[in-house]
Structure 1
C-alpha cells in the first residue's frame, strides 16, 4: 500500500497536475471528493471532468472552484463521426470482445459509443493530461479508455460493487486489460485490495493504494447542531412521521434493494422475546429502491406482519434535517448487506450515537483500524443474541463521544484528501 504523503518535492511554484476525471456519473461522490482535495491542496491540481452527470445550479456554484472544465457526453452519432467507422482499432476490439463472449447487445452499443468517442476524444485529449482518473471500471464506464494513447498515465479507482458484483469471462477480460497498464489502482480497504490481487494477480500489489471517499459534511454539521437538543425536538419529529413515542426505533438497511437482506434479518429476529419485540419499532428505508422489483416492498411488509413486528416502510425522501433527526432517534441500526465497500450510513449512525450491527463478511477493516465501537456478526444466526445485547445496552456517552472523535479523525474530508494526494500528485 502506498503511504500518505504531503511532500511537495521542495517546489512551491510547481505547475498544477492536470487531471481528467471519467467514469461513474454520481456527482455527489465525485464533487465531494475533488472539492476536499482542492481545499486541502489548493493550486496543486487542475481538474476537468467528462461523462459525469451534470451538476445542478446549486452544485455548480459549490464545485466551480475545483473543476476547470466539465465536458458533456454525446450518445447520438453525427455525420462528423461516420469517418470513425473505418477505424481499424474498432474492429480489433470487437474481434477480441467476441472471443471473450461479449453479447450482441454490448457489441452494438460499443460500436456506437466508439464511433462517437473517437471524435470527442480527439478534442479532449489534446489537453495532454498528466493523469486520467477512471472511476468504477466496469465495461459500461470505460468509453474513453479505448481512445487514450499508449503513454497516457491513468489511475483506476474501484468503488466496491464494480469489483464484488462483476463476474463472467468478458468482464474479467476488460478489467484485467485496464489494470495491466494502470499507473495506480485505488480501493478502500485491505479486504478489497486482497480481492483485486486474488482476482487479477499479485503483480499488481505495488500499484494499489488505499483511499477514502469523503462524506458530505452537511449531515454531520446538522447532527452536531441537533444532538444537544434532541430531547426537546424528538417528540415533534416522531409525531410528524407517525413513529411511536415510547418504542425503540430500529432501522434496517439504507435502501430498498434486496441486497440489504431485510427479510432475512426480520426472520432471524422473529423469535426474540416478546417483551423486547413489544418495545421495538422497525423502520425499513425505501426512498431508493429497485423500480424493476415491485414485489420486494410487499414481501417486506408481509414479513413484518408475519413476525408480529410493529414497523413501516419509509419511502419518503428525507431532508437533511429529517435524516439527521431519524439517525439521532435510532436506537439500533442493522446493516447486513450481501456486499458493500465502506458504508457511509454506518459512520453516520455511529456518529449519531446508535448501536450498530453489521457483518464480518463485509470489508470494514478501516472501521476496525480506527477503533470504532460497534457489533459485528459472523452469520445471521448470531443476530438475535447480538440484537438483544444492543437493544438492552444503556446509553454510553463516553463511547458515543469516542466514536465521534474517531470518525472526525479518520473519515472526514481533510484526512480523506490526504489519502488521495500520493495517488494523484506523484
Structure 2
C-alpha cells in the first residue's frame, strides 16, 4: 500500500514538471523527502527541475545524491551526462552518457546517446585515455573503504568515486562518520562496524568488491586485509614513522602495509619518494592524490569582510588543536602572539572543550567558532582575510610535517583567502608554483607579515582554473584501481603453472560458465575431461585441452595425463572411484565438488563407493552449509577439515539485470502470455522429481477460489521423457486454466524473460541442492512457495523471504491465499534481490574459487 502511495505522489510530481509547475513540484518533493529520504527517483526529478531552471550545479548535486542510492539508474546517468556537457566537463559527460547507454533498451534513445558520445569525443583531447577510462569503469563496480575512524580525506574520496556510479561501502572500527562530523551527506551504500578479525576477513572474501581501500593510520588494517583474497590499496595519509617514534610492532606493520599492499596512494610526491626509498618499493602501482577540495564546495558568493567593519585583520584556522607541546597541532603560542599584535584568530574544528575555553579567555582576539559541515565552513571563511596553514615544527615531527598536503590549504583558496604558510618544504613548493601567500618568519613581528599577505588577491575561479579540485582526478583514480585489480588477477594466475584440470561427466551450462569465469578473472585456460562433446563449442574461447572419454578408455586417458597443480572433480559420479588412485597421482591438490543430487540421490551402496573419492580429496566443496552438514552427518566428522562451502555464481542474474528497464507487459506480449493474468510457474525442468502432476492436482482443488485469472507456466526444456511430458499436458488440458509448456531449448537470455514475467513460482521437487532457478525467481522479486524438506537454510539465514510448506498436499491450503492477496505477499520480497546478489553473483563467488584452485 505504501509503495502504491509513493507511486501516485511521484506520478503527480512528474505531471507538474511536465506542465512547467516547477515550484509546486519542488514543494511536493520537499514534503515527500521529509518522510522518504532514500528515493533515487525523487532526487532525479529534483535534478530535472534544476536543469529546467538552468541551475546546473544544484542539478549535479541532486543527481549525484540519487546515484548514491541507485548507481544503475538510467535517468540519472543520462541527465548527469547532459549537465556535464553543458558545464563543459566533457570527460565526465562521456562516462555518464556511456553508462546510460549500457542501461538503455530503447533503440531510438540508444542512437541518440551514441551521437552524443561521438560529438563528445571531438571535445576530448586524449582519446586513448578515454578508452582506458571506459574500460576501467566497466571493471570497477564496487569498492569498500576500511578505516578505524573515517576522516575527511576518506569522505571526499568516497564521494568522488560514488559520484560516478560505483558502489562504495565503508567498514570502520572505532567511530561512525556521523559521530565524527555530525550531519554530513554520506555517499556509502552500506556501513559496517568491524568487531571480529576472522568475521571481517570472511566477509571480505565472500564479497564482490573489486578493490579494498585501506586508509592509514593505523597500518594494521592493511596488514590484516592482506590475508584476504582481494586486491588491497593502502592510502598513507600520514607516514607514522616520520611523524613520531614507533614501537617495533608499529614499524613492522608500516613496512608490511607499504611494501605488500597491491597498490599504494600517497598525499604528496615527497611522501611517495620517502616511502619508495624507506621501504624499497619498486615495480608497483602508485598514485599521488593531494588533499584537494570538492568542486561543489566552492562558494558562488562571499560574505562581507569583517575587516571592512572594524578595520582589524581577521585570520582563520581550520583544523584540530592539541595541548601537547610536542604535537604539530600545538599552536597556542602562535595564536597568542597574533592576538598580542591585535590580529583576530577565528578557529574552526575538533578541539577539547576545556582547552579551547581556556585559550579564548586569554584574549578577545581569539575566537572559537565551532564545527561546521564543509560547504558551510568554506562559505563562512570568506569573511576573513588570511588562512593560517601553520604547524608547530620540532625535531620529532620535522620530516613528517615537511611532506604534508593539508586539506585547509585548498579550503582557504576556495574561500578566496591568501595563506600564511609555515616554513615547510611541501608548502614552500606549493607557494612557489601558485604564489598564493607567504611563508611566515616566526622570529620576526607578525603584524607586518600578515598585512602583506592580505594584499595578495585570490581570484574566485582560482581552484577551477588551476584544476585543484579532487573531482578532476576521479578517472585517473578509477584507472589506477583497474590497473591494480588486473595485476592482482595476474599474480593469482602466476601462483601456479596454469595447470588446472576440470573433470565433469556430462554437459552443464554451469561448467561452461565456470571455466569461462576462471579464464576472464585469472587469465587461465583450463583443461576439461568429459564424457560429453557438447563442450566443444567453448574450446577455443577458454579451454586449453579437451579430453573426450568413455567408460572403456577412462583409465588409460587418466594415466596419459600430464601432472596438474590442481584437479577439480565436479559431480561425484561413482565411476571415478575406480580410477581415483590414478587421478590422485596426477595432481598436487585434488578438489571434489559435490553438486547435491550426487549425494542426495545416491543410495548407501553408492555412497560407500564414493567414499574412496572423498578419502583422496584435499578439499570437498558444497553449495551450502546445509548440504555440507547433511554430508558430514552421514560420513562422520573425518571429512570436516576438508569440507568448505564454495558456490557457483549465477550468470542469469546478469541477464535478468538487462531486462530491468523493459516493461513487464511488453515482455508478456513478446512471450505470448496474457498481460491481465497472474503467472504461476511450476518447477523448472521436465523431471518427475518436480512433481508437476501432484501440484496440478492441488491447484485443481482450489482453482474456483481464485479472485483473479491465473496463467500456468511449465518450463520443461530438459530432463524427463516424452511419456511424462504427455501425461502432464493431458492433466493441464483437463484443468480448465490457460497454460503454456516450454519444451524447446531456450538460451539463458530468453529463459530469464519467462522468470521475469512470473508472479508466483512453485518449487516443490523431491530433492535439491540450491536451485538456481529458484534463486533467479527470488532475484526477480517473485513470490516463491517451496518445500520445508529442501535445503534452503542458507537463504533463510541471510534474510530471504519465501513461503515453506510441509508437504505437497499443503499447497492447496496456501495457493489461493497467495493468489487472492498477491500484492501483499509481493511486498515481502523487496530485500530478496540484494540478498541473492550477495550470495550468488559471480562477482561475489569467483575469487573464492580462484583462491581455492589457483593459490
- TM category (shorter chain) comes to 0.7 to 0.9
**Structure 2: distance between partners of 1:287 and 1:308:** 23
Q: Tell me, what secondary structure is at the counterpart of 1:185?
A: strand
Question: Of 125, 129, 132, which residue of structure 1 is paired with 2:564?
Answer: 129
Residues 23 and 141 in structure 1, CA contact (< 8 A), matched pair in contact too: no
Equivalent position of 2:853 in the other structure: 424
The 1:70/1:309 distance shift into structure 2, 3 A limit, reads: same
**1:71 alignment counterpart:** 547
- Within the alignment, does 1:249 sit opposite 2:679 as a pair? yes
> Is the radius of gyration larger for structure 1 or structure 2?
2
Residues 332 and 317 of structure 1: CA distance in aligned 2, closer, same or farther (over 3 Å)? same
Q: 1:201-253 CA deviation, whole Å, 9 max, x = no partner?
A: 2211111010111222xx434433333332451352253xxx33422111101
RMSD across aligned C-alpha pairs, in angstroms?
A: 3.1
The match for 1:206 among 635, 641, 654 is 641
Q: Is the 8 A contact 1:190 1:363 kept in 2?
A: no
What TM-score, normalized to structure 2?
0.40
Matched, 1:189 2:624: yes
1:155–1:182 Cα contact (<8 Å) kept: yes
Rounded to whole Å, the distance in 2 between the matches of 1:370 and 1:409 is 9
Alignment of 1:25-424 (within 5 A): 25-40=506-521, 42=522, 47-51=526-530, 53-54=532-533, 59-61=538-540, 63-64=541-542, 67-73=543-549, 75=550, 113=552, 116-124=553-561, 127-141=562-576, 144-149=579-584, 152=587, 153-169=589-605, 171-216=606-651, 219-231=652-664, 233-239=666-672, 243-272=673-702, 274-276=704-706, 279-291=709-721, 294-391=722-819, 392-394=821-823, 400=829, 402-424=831-853
The Cα shift of 1:186 comes to: 0.8
Q: Deviations over 1:263-295 (max 9, x none)?
A: 11122222225141761122222222423xx43
- 2:509 aligned counterpart, secondary structure: helix
Number of aligned pairs? 372
Distance across 2 between alignment mates of 1:54 and 1:335: 31
Give the deviation of 1:48 after TM superposition: 1.8
CA distance in 2, matches of 1:231, 1:301: 26
Distance 1:267 1:177, change over 3 A: same
- Residue equivalent to 1:84: none
Q: Describe the superposition over 1:379-422 as per-residue Cα deviations: whole angstroms up to 9, x where unpaired.
A: 22332233234322217887555322222222110212133244
| Gaps in structure 2 of 5+ consecutive residues | 1-200, 206-227, 232-255, 261-487
Q: Secondary structure at the match of 2:662?
A: helix
Cα distance in structure 1, aligned partners of 2:513 and 2:570: 14
Is the partner of 2:661 in helix, strand or coil? helix
- Compare relative contact order (CA 8 Å, sep 6+) and give the higher one, 1 or 2: 1
Question: Closer, same or farther in 2 for the Cα pair 1:278/1:192, shift >3 Å?
Answer: same
1:358 positional shift: 1.0
Distance change (3 Å), C-alpha of 1:163 and 1:57: closer
| CA deviation after TM superposition for structure 1 residue 357, in Å | 1.0
SS in 1 for 2:564: coil
**Deviations 1:16-70 (Å, cap 9, x if unpaired)?**
4632211333252112123323434x25x66322225345675345x42xx3322
